[in-house]
Amino acid sequence: MKMREIAVGDAVVGLTLAYDLTGITPGKQKGAVLRRGHVLSESDLTILRDIGKSSIKILELDPDEVHEDEGAESLARMLAGDGIVVNLPGEAWADLVATRTGLLRVDADRLRRLNLMDDLIIATRHDSSPVQAGGTVGRAKVRGLTVRQAVLDDARVIAENSSRIMEVLPYRPVRAGAIITGREIYEGRKRDGFEPLLRRRVEEYGGTLVYMRIVRDEVTELSEAITTALAQDLDMLFVTGGGSPDDCTSESIARSADEVVFHGVPVAPGAMTVLAYAHGVPIVSVPAGLLARPRGFMDLLLPRLLAGLRPTKEEAADYGHGGLCLQCDVCVFPDCAFGK
C-alpha cells in the first residue's frame, strides 16, 4: 500500500475519502461524520478540523491488498452461518445480525484462532445466548486501512473448515407438559405457583404448555403420572420438586426415564435440577426455589432444549464457572454474567 498525507486545506477539496472519518461527542455518541467515497468540499474543512484532523491519507492499494471495508465484510461473511446476515454500519465494521429469534452458537475455539491473527478483530456475544431477530450478535473488522488477501485466505480455512463459526438455531414450537407435586397443593391447602411460571417460560420461546396434572409427592403416584404424561405426545415434560433426600421427584424420574443425564448442577439457583430422557423426550425437574427467585438454571437449560440440543453432564459441569446468580434487585437476565 502506498499512502501519502495531504494537509487539510484547499488542496484536499475535490478529493475522495478512502475511509470513514469518525467524530466523538463525549458521553453522547461516536460515529462517522464523513464516509468513504465522500468528495470533500470547502464546507468539510471545518468538520475535519473539529475532529482533530490536520491531514488526510490518500491510499493506493497493491494488487494483493483489500480495503478495510471489503476486508471486514469478507471476514464477517466467513463467520455467518444459518440465521445470520451481514450489515455494514460504517467505520470499517461489519455487523453480524440475527435474522431469527433463537439460540446463538459460537465456536469459541476457532474464534480465538482468528483473533490471534494480528490483522483480524472479531467480537461476539456469548455462545448459547438467547437472541432476538434483528439483534447484533457479532462485529468484525480488520486492524489497518488494508489487509492482505493472503490473510483473508488463511482466515477462510479456519472459518469455513466444517461449519460456520456462528449460527442461530431456531426454537422448536414444543408441546410441553407439567406435573406439579405436593400434597398441600393436591389437597387445596396451598395455591400452585408453578403452572403460571412454567407457562410463561415456555411461551417466551414460542412453545405451549398443553398438559398439566397435580399429584401428591409419593414415588408410586408420581412415577405413574410421569408415564401417563409421556403418553400425551409431548415434546418436553417438567416435574416440580427438589432433589433433597426427602423429595421423591428425582427417584420418580429415574424410574420412568431411559437415561438420567445429570442430577445436580453447579449453578445457584437451581442446583438440584434433574435432566433425563424417556423415548427421546426431555424430562426436567424444577426445584421449588425458582418460585422465590426470578431466574435459575432452568433459564440456562430451557433455550438449549428448545433449540434441539441435547446437553451433556460435562456441559452442565462447565456452568460452575459463571453459574452463580447475584440475585440483583433488578433482574436484567439474559443481559448479565449469569450462566456465561
Please give the Cα distance from 290 to 9 (Å, whole number).
Answer: 66
Query: What is the per-residue pLDDT across 25-41, written as a single tens digit (0 to 9) for each?
Result: 777 777 788 777 677 88
Instruction: Please say which residue of 35, 60, 85 terminates a domain.
Output: 60
Grid coordinates representing 242? 427438589
Please give the Cα distance from 158 to 79 (Å, whole number).
Answer: 10
Answer yes or no: do 96 and 216 share one domain: no
**Residue 97, domain extent:** 65-168
Answer yes or no: do 301 and 193 share one domain: yes
Whether 119 maps to a domain, the answer reads yes
Please give the Cα distance from 195 to 183 (Å, whole number).
Answer: 16
Query: What is the per-residue pLDDT across 246-264, written as a single tens digit (0 to 9) for each?
Result: 678 999 999 999 999 999 9
Report the mean per-residue pLDDT for the chain.
91
Whether 12 maps to a domain, the answer reads yes
Are the C-beta atoms of residues 69 and 95 closer than 8 Å to each other?
no
What pLDDT was estimated at residue 37?
67
Answer yes or no: do 207 and 280 share one domain: yes
Q: What is the model's pTM?
A: 0.85
- Count of the separate structural domains present in the chain: 3
Query: What is the per-residue pLDDT across 39-97, written as a single tens digit (0 to 9) for each?
Result: 788 888 888 888 888 888 777 778 898 988 899 999 999 999 999 999 998 888 999 99
Whether 330 maps to a domain, the answer reads no
Report residue 339 CA to chain centroid gap. Answer: 11
